[in-house]
Each structure stands twice: as C-alpha cells, then as structure tokens.
Amino acid sequence: MSKSVEPRIVIIGAGMAGILSVIRLREAGYTDFVVYEKSDRIGGTWRENTYPGIACDVPAHLYTYSFEPNPDWSSTFASGPEIQRYFEGVVEKYNVRPAIRFNEAVDVCEFIDGRWRIKTSTGRDDVADVVLAATGVLHHPFTADIPGLASFAGARFHSAQWDHSVDLKGKRVGVIGTGSTAIQITSALVDKVGRYDLFQRTAQWVMPIENVIYSDQDKHEFRTNPARLEALRVEASDYFRKFSNAVIDSESEEMREIEEACRLNLEQNVKDPVLREKLRPNYRAGCKRLIFSADFYDAIQHPNAHLVTDGIECIEPNGVRLKNGELRELDVLVVATGFRTDSFIRPAVVKGRHGVDLDDVWADHPTAYLSISIPQFPNFFMLNGPNGPVGNFSLILIAENQLNYILQLMEKIRDGSCREISAKDEASSSFENVRIEAAKKSIWATGCKSWYLDKNGVPASWPWSRDRFFEVMKKPELEAFELAS
C-alpha cells in the first residue's frame, strides 16, 4: 500500500471503545472510517443495562478517558445513567456521531483478496482494509435454563432488559442471581417493594467500599485545580494497583488482606448468625468477581428482604417452586444471571484467510495474541478481546493502551511497510501457553466456578501485573507478527 493511500477502517460498536477509536483515529490523521452500531444509541454496556441501582465498581475518576477528565462526577462510584451521560457528552464534544451508522449490526466480516468484505443487517456491503472490533464483553444476556421460566404469569425480564413500565411499588419481587447486578438491584429496591426475594445459588464475598458523595465545593475545586483531580486519580490508581497485583497471586499478602477485609465485613455487619452463614461463601474471596458494595449487607437484612438458598425446582405461573416443595409467590421475576462473556464479536460470522472461520478457531476457547490479534485474520484488531485484564482494572485504561498499540501496527499499513499484519501462529500459541501457566497461580484458579473461567476451567484473563500490561502495550514486538505485502 503506498503512502498516498489511506486505509479504509470499519469499527464495530459505539460503546466506550468504539467512541475512543473514532477520537484517536482522527487524532492520528485517519479520515476514512465508519462505525457500525447495532442499536439506535451510543453507550454499549451503559445503554443496555438500566436496572435500578446500576453503577460502575471502578472509581469514576478512573473510569474516565485520560484526555477527558470529568470534575462533575457525583460520587466515588458513578451510576449507570451518569456514565451514559458522560459518554454522550464526549460524543458531542468530539463530534463522533457523524461517523456512526446506527441500527446497523455487522453480520459478516470476510477477508477476500486482501480486504475485509462487510455485510450489515440492513443489507449493506462495505469493504475495509482494517477492522477494529470494539464490541465489548457485557452485551449478550445469559438466561439460566430454568424449567418453566416462560410459564411465569407476572412480569418477567432479564436484568439487562429491564422493563421500566412495570410498577414495583408494593409488589412481590424475586431476583435470581447474586452477582454484582443482583447485589446492586437488592440495595436499590428492597425498601421500595412489598416483599423482596433474592434467590441465591452461590454466596458472594463483598468488599466494603466508601462511596463518597462529592459536594459542589469538591466539584468546583476539581474544575479549578486539576492537581487535586489528578491526586484523586492517583490515589484510586494506587488502590487498584494493589488489587490487580493481589488477584494474580493467590498466595500474596495483598490477597490475604483483601480476604480478611471481606471476612470482617460479613462478620461485623450481619447480625443474625443463620443469615450470616448463608451469606458466607465456601471459596476464597476474589475467586469469583469480587462484589464491591457499601450497603448490601444492610439491604439483605431489611424487613422486606428474604434470602432464599433452597434450590429452584422450577418456575410456575404464580412464582418459584423450590426443591423443598415451597412455592414463593411473586408478581415480578427478574433474571440476573449475567452475560455470555465469551461471545465477543459473535454472533457475527468472521472468516479470515482462505475462509478460516473464527468459530472453528475458537471452538475450544477464545484466544488472541495479547487479546488483540488473531493469526490468519489480518488487519483485524480487538479492543478488550479474549484473555485481557477484564477483571483487573479500568476497561477504559485497558482500551486506551490497546488502541495505542494497534495504531502502531496500523502505521505499518499506512506507511506502505505492509498490506497485511496479524499475529504469527507460534507467537500466539506461545503467549497462550505462558498465559495459561501463569493463570494457574491466580486467585481465579483456586476452586470456584465463575465467568472468568473458560470451558476448560482455565482463567480467561491477564494473569500478570498492571505495570507489565502497560509495558507490553508501549510498543509492538514486530517479530511476533506476520507482515505481508
């Protein structure tokens, strides 16, 4: 490719990473790009999830683009609607919207004769030299296979498809699941409904947090004194450095401190010894995604709240039938059973060189070199792809570093050094083997079931320090890539 020819770029998804891609591509001088977004609005996770109590468990000042600090966050941990407004503001400020084609999903990406052929849900045919998959992780709802679920006669929906037309006041509400979503819903609803049943299959460790509400004076100081805002970011960053170092080494002192904090939180804040033991997990803290909450234990002890730990036999029109024979009658049933976190760009059909199908490549489990590039899929790059640091620290920080890395690879295409670039098979295999071995030492591999694990029981995450991730992302090792003319 000559220097005078600019690559055509297709970005898939207008969530956090897709918005970032548009801004950074323009900054780098790229002009020929488009974003395909399956929905009618930007926002990704924060557009899809609107359940009561939704918030980010990463401090807001860390869950912020580095180039667009926000002095007006209302508290340490921002709510979902507030985060959505932040992204909408960034889209307007940086004029991202004209680059987006809404209500248009990418159905097929096929590499033919050196370029990507794109087919969208509207029937459009497009072509690209480079594809950036910014599709995120938490956008394919997973509904547990519970007998009789469809027979429920009341209002029923997944937490990611919340029906806000349903009036919950005075109603008997049941929530199935105990992940972060269910915990946030519990805190938000327990005193607003007639009766609240939380159906727990697995107890969760809860890390105590302090959600500081920022005053108008605080926000004024953040706006007028950037040093104070930066100090807040550094403080939060230092905490997460400790956390990210802890989870990758199950025997570390930092991990023991986190476990002790979770244990004390349970024992000091749940008064009823029977309830306390029902809430006590039988695995180590951090093995599943740690719950961060300032008020869940208070909420689950509310007079309206009932923690149901007997197994579910089936769903009936009037409620949930337990294995002990009891029927928990309900008016509203919420399924908070998470997402298909291994879908990534799928269900789109993606075919690389010689028709190799991504579904076949990922038949065992999704892999990508440094979570970014897949052998035999040239010029196809992923943001927050397989086996990245999704459980370690801010996804925005991860995406910014990954995109910086990808832009350096793309420059090889733009300057004519090559037409195609993708990870070598041996580099990808070697990286995955080393990653799997390192992951065995992490807290995620200590014996529980979680969405961090692939179907082989191996943690599907970055098993090294945050600092190592930043160092690796500084500059590509080109010997790990196949550069084809």
Each residue's pLDDT tens digit, 50-67: 999 999 999 999 999 999
Gap between the Cα atoms of 137 and 44, Å rounded: 9
- pLDDT tens digits along 347-371: 899 999 999 999 999 998 899 999 9
Domain membership of residue 57 (yes or no) is no
- pLDDT tens digits along 275-292: 999 999 999 999 998 999
- If asked whether residues 183 and 327 sit together in one domain, one would say yes
Residue 232, CA distances (Å) to 60, 211, 237, 351, 391 in order = 10, 14, 8, 45, 22
Give the domain-ending residue among 309, 335, 361.
335
- DSSP output for 251-312: TSHHHHHHHHHHHHHHHHH---HHHHHHT--SS-TTSSPPEE-SSHHHHHTSTTEEEE-SPE
For the record, the structure tokens of 69 come out as 């600090």
- If asked whether residues 310 and 426 sit together in one domain, one would say no
Q: Taking 90 as the threshold, does the pLDDT of residue 213 lie above it?
A: yes
Give the domain-ending residue among 272, 302, 335.
335
- If asked whether residues 345 and 331 sit together in one domain, one would say no
- If asked whether residues 173 and 306 sit together in one domain, one would say yes
For the record, the structure tokens of 96 come out as 């991202």
Domain membership of residue 68 (yes or no) is no
Domain membership of residue 84 (yes or no) is no
Gap between the Cα atoms of 177 and 183, Å rounded: 9
Q: What is residue 450's predicted lDDT score, i.e. its pLDDT?
A: 85
Q: Taking 70 as the threshold, does the pLDDT of residue 401 lie above it?
A: yes
Q: Taking 70 as the threshold, does the pLDDT of residue 311 lie above it?
A: yes
For the record, the structure tokens of 3 come out as 């220097």
Give the domain-ending residue among 299, 314, 335.
335
- If asked whether residues 303 and 409 sit together in one domain, one would say no
**Lowest pLDDT segment from 213-222, 309-318, 451-460:** 451-460
Average pLDDT value for the chain: 94
- If asked whether residues 157 and 125 sit together in one domain, one would say no
Domain membership of residue 66 (yes or no) is no
SS3 303: coil
Alpha-carbon Rg for the chain, nearest whole angstrom, is 23
SS3 200: coil
Nearest to 77 by CA among 291, 281, 278: 291
Residues in Cβ contact with 452 at an 8 Å cutoff, skipping those fewer than 6 apart: 288, 289, 391, 444, 459, 460, 461
Domain membership of residue 309 (yes or no) is yes
Domain membership of residue 363 (yes or no) is yes
Domain membership of residue 187 (yes or no) is yes
Domain membership of residue 88 (yes or no) is no
Structural domain containing residue 445 = 9-42+96-140+340-484
Give residue 392's pLDDT band: very low, low, confident or very high (50, 70, 90): low
- If asked whether residues 304 and 352 sit together in one domain, one would say no
Q: Taking 80 as the threshold, does the pLDDT of residue 186 lie above it?
A: yes
The whole model's pTM is what? 0.95
Q: What is residue 2's predicted lDDT score, i.e. its pLDDT?
A: 44
- If asked whether residues 281 and 345 sit together in one domain, one would say no
- If asked whether residues 322 and 250 sit together in one domain, one would say yes
Better pLDDT: 210 or 25 = 25
- pLDDT tens digits along 32-46: 999 999 999 999 999
For the record, the structure tokens of 320 come out as 């949930």
Gap between the Cα atoms of 229 and 223, Å rounded: 8
Q: What is residue 1's predicted lDDT score, i.e. its pLDDT?
A: 41
Other beta carbons less than 10 A from residue 60's beta carbon = 24
CATH number reported for the structural domain that contains residue 113 in this entry: 3.50.50.60
- If asked whether residues 296 and 358 sit together in one domain, one would say no
Q: Taking 70 as the threshold, does the pLDDT of residue 139 lie above it?
A: no
Q: Give me the helices (H) in 272-318, please.
A: 273-278, 296-300
- pLDDT tens digits along 60-89: 999 999 999 999 999 999 999 999 999 999
Number of structural domains in the chain? 2
